[in-house]
Structure 1
Amino acid sequence: MSTPKAKSKVKKKANKTTHRFSIRIYLLILTTLVIVMMGGLWSSLFKSYPVEGKKQMLAINHGDTYSAFIERLSKEDKAHFPFILKLYQRFFIHDTLKAGVYEIPQGTSIRQVLDMISNADNAQLNRILVIEGTTFKDLINNLRKDDLVTHELSDLSNDELLKALDIPFTHPEGLFEPNTYFFAKGESDKKILQDLYHRQMKTLDQAWENRAPNLPYKNKYEALIMASIIEKETSVKAELEQVSGVFVRRLNMGMRLQTDPTVIYGMGDKYQGKITRQDLRTPTDYNTYTISGLPPSPIALPSKRAIEAAMHPDQSANIYFVATGNGGHKFSTNLQDHNRAVQEYLQVLRSKKE
């Protein structure tokens, strides 16, 4: 028969065994968590950035954010556990992404890449993106905001700028080729604009030499004006020649171009996102509802494809077009069909609102 003292000893021993077992469980859980955390850190922060060859260039654009960059790495399976990367950036990188082109050597960790791209001094090249259909004002403003560009022309008027660049035109619009460029850090805005200008003139000269016969342009500058209108009228590359054909036929017929982008350009800063019937009736140098022929200058920076389209319009009989509301345009040879297409477009807009 066991005594109370013996029972107490057995109970204490059982408690001690249970306590030891609990500690082991806690230690196992803690060890597992540490291993998982270390694995997460290793496959996120300390994983090597994937590099093909000995080194690779990484382009960061103006306006890019760390959050978007990290999400991109995750989607491309270049990094795991993006929340860890975001926490690291939040607590240890006290700056924003800096635009530029960075050289990433093989073996560089993702953490090192995150640190690198917060400092523009680490950039090897400056990436200049000039988007077709944007304006010279957009281009010059982007250059002014670029910390990797040496600013020589910032305070000049358009007339003074053209003179400084030795450009024999009275208006800068349309004279600079849209594309993606890489310049050395610290390159001057003057050198950049001269390079873009000479590229655009080379494209224009080549297209003019190989143009289709019987075009209604007095010179290649008028063709450049037309190219800028074509660029603004459609973002569908397959439609460029069709749009060109419509406007070329209108010029040949003595019909006004009546294109909204010219109205918007003529409105300047007054344009707040939409145009009214009153805007269409208000004369400006660029309002092709009130003037005949082409406006006095381009209205945007046209791409090489738009310039080629201006020189090679399609050979259909279309003289009207309107948006479909679902991407692209519907082209018509007569006003009756055009009006029907306009009503179809309005119906699509009403359906989308509902």
Structure 2
Amino acid sequence: MKKTATRLADGRELIYYDARDDAARAAVTDARTLPPRPAAGEVRDDPLLGEGVVVASHRQDRTHLPPPEQCPLCPSRPGRPTEIPAADYDVAVFENRFPALSGETGRCEVVCFTDDHDASFAALAPERAALVLAAWTDRTAELSALPGVAQVFCFENRGIEIGVTLAHPHGQIYAYPFVTPRTARMLERAAAHRAETGRNLFEDVVAAERVDGRRVVAEGAHWTAFVPRAARWPYEVQVHPRRRVPDLLALDDAARAEFPALHLDLLRRFDRLFGAGAPPTPYVCAWHQAPVAHPHRDEFGLHLQLFTVRRAPGKLKFLAGSESAMNVFVNDVPPEAAAERLRKAASA
């Protein structure tokens, strides 16, 4: 992998990740005239829950579902400059022009998986998926070292049903100035489990799922993918490494080598869930990593969460009263049935 860093016209950082170590990546200047970068969003504390909420009003002006010929994530062309000045790229990462977090409140980055506007992550070759994994890992290391960053979150939103505003295949990375509520809760549970049993919670969960077997969707020598017993979403999968590690940086070479093919297989299964001719399945794909520094950091277990809001053809799972107001999810699809459908969705 070759990494080349440069700057966009307004000073934001742009990094190219090329698969070949000897790739020739000539510096291409961003000749656009851009407005000043927006002020940082504000992090406010909810006194009743003790959770952070980000207020970022400038995001109201972000680009929203432009036509393909105006996509800001495609390579630049003569007379049509974009966020990527180069004429082509493998993987590109840059600071978000409309960030929820910036400056002292953190950082937001965009990860472009390919320069092909009409592709999807599921359509990538394993080698390209491996390069994306390498970019996620590198950005986790770089962002974790920034002052004030408490947690790094790599994720992909796909589909307008999820709220995606750009169709080009891409994901994002948030560097939070606080530990997110979900992660904090998992760490609390892991600490309590250790105190009660002397064992690690994540290891016990994965072991129990493997023994039960009903919700296991796919396995390799180094990863296990299963539908959680208490899945919140109609179709939800967690992917855990067999050797528990706190974050992407700690994965060994064998786990890194096996992951891309498993990841692509799961994404393709999601696209087969609702039958031939169905529109692409909307999903969220999220890496859960340990915070940069935390008393119970070593108890955390890195895992990937993949879920869709589509519960049946033409039907979505909406977060209504119980979910939105009380954070109590009601799932219409039994996890065992979801796992069975995902197993059957494997390629022939």
- Bucket of the pairwise TM-score, normalised by the shorter protein: under 0.3
Structure with more strand by fraction: 2
Q: Which has the higher contact order (CA 8 A, sep 6+)?
A: 2
Q: TM-score, normalised by structure 1?
A: 0.22
